[in-house]
């Protein structure tokens, strides 16, 4: 089976001791491509380097909602745009969006730069990778007001209801499904996966986070996607081969590859 991990963070220090050996093992296990996702200016720059160093790796540029104060610095948007223009393996803007989980947050600043980074993606003709936590309504409303359906992209680590999924489906978005779907208490996500057409699902790990059963609590890696594939196949009553084939093609469509 050929796997495409659409969302990982291999720049994380958890991989500093064995990154190269892990990549070799992942590739041998059927991982064809990985998209390394940026969360700030520094990881956007790192992705520019990683995508040149590793032939199987794509990357993104973008700033996570809780770090968007970085984008207030002069020249920040211009730097991200130049990275996108100068490296065709930087395939999306993300992860961007809204995160209302914590007590002390600046919602207006998050919203401003969610809109700003969507416009960056529009100019660069790249899709968006959206992080949304405890902010479903505002996320959908801002996407609609910015005509996100014209930009396209993926709802990373989708965690809302199947009813909410309908709104993102209507905008033509993909849904990133990862290790959480294997958790026994993930009833709401399992219902959403059953509802979402396979044609709108891509696989992701969020490595090193959100490791699937039976490795929950340990460091995640892209070849663990086989457990996600197995659960999606079970939920939808189809073969694992079909899940792999369709989600791989979906990932290529998402990132224009």
How high is the pLDDT of residue 75?
A: 97
- Tokens for 209, please give them: 């986070």
Measured CA to CA, the distance from residue 70 to residue 222 in angstroms comes to 29
Q: What is the pLDDT along the chain (257 residues), one digit of tens a residue?
A: 899 999 999 999 999 999 999 999 999 999 999 999 999 999 999 999 999 999 999 999 999 999 999 999 999 999 999 999 999 999 999 999 999 999 889 999 999 999 999 999 999 999 999 999 999 999 999 999 999 999 999 999 999 999 999 999 999 999 999 999 999 999 999 999 999 999 999 999 999 999 999 999 999 999 999 999 999 999 999 999 999 999 999 999 999 99
pLDDT of res. 104: 87
Q: Are strands 57-61 and 31-36 parallel, antiparallel or unpaired?
A: parallel
Give me the pLDDT at residue 119, please. 98
Domains of the chain: 3-254 (3.20.20.140)
Residue 224 contacts residue 179 (beta carbons within 8 Å): yes
Q: How far apart are the first and last CA of the chain?
A: 19
CB atoms near residue 31 (< 10 Å): 24
Residue 37: per-residue pLDDT? 98
Question: Which pLDDT value is given to residue 199?
Answer: 98
On the 0-12 / 13-18 / 19+ scale of CB atoms within 10 A, 89 is middle
DSSP structure class, residue 207: B
């Amino acid at each position: 089976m050929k796997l495409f991990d659409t969302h990982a963070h291999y720049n994380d220090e958890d991989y500093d001791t064995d990154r190269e050996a892990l990549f070799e093992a992942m590739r041998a296990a059927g991982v064809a491509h990985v998209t390394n996702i940026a969360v700030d200016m520094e990881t956007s720059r790192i992705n520019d380097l990683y995508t040149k160093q590793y032939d199987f790796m794509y990357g993104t540029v973008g700033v996570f909602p809780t770090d968007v104060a970085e984008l207030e610095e002069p020249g920040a948007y211009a730097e991200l745009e130049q990275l996108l223009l100068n490296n065709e393996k930087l395939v999306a803007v993300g992860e961007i969006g809204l995160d209302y989980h914590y007590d002390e947050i600046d919602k207006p600043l998050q919203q401003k730069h969610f809109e700003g980074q969507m416009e960056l993606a529009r100019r660069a003709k790249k899709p968006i990778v959206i992080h949304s936590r405890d902010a479903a309504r505002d996320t959908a409303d801002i996407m609609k007001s910015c005509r996100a359906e014209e930009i396209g992209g993926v709802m990373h680590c989708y965690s809302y209801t199947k009813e909410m999924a309908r709104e993102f489906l209507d905008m033509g978005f993909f849904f990133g499904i990862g290790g959480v779907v294997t958790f026994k208490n993930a009833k709401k996500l399992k219902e959403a996966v059953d509802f979402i057409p396979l044609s709108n699902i891509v696989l992701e790990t969020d490595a090193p986070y959100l490791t699937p059963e039976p490795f929950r609590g340990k460091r995640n890696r892209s070849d663990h996607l086989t457990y996600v594939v197995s659960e999606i196949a079970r939920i939808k009553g189809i073969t694992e081969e079909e899940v792999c084939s369709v989600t791989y093609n979906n990932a290529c469509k998402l990132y224009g590859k």
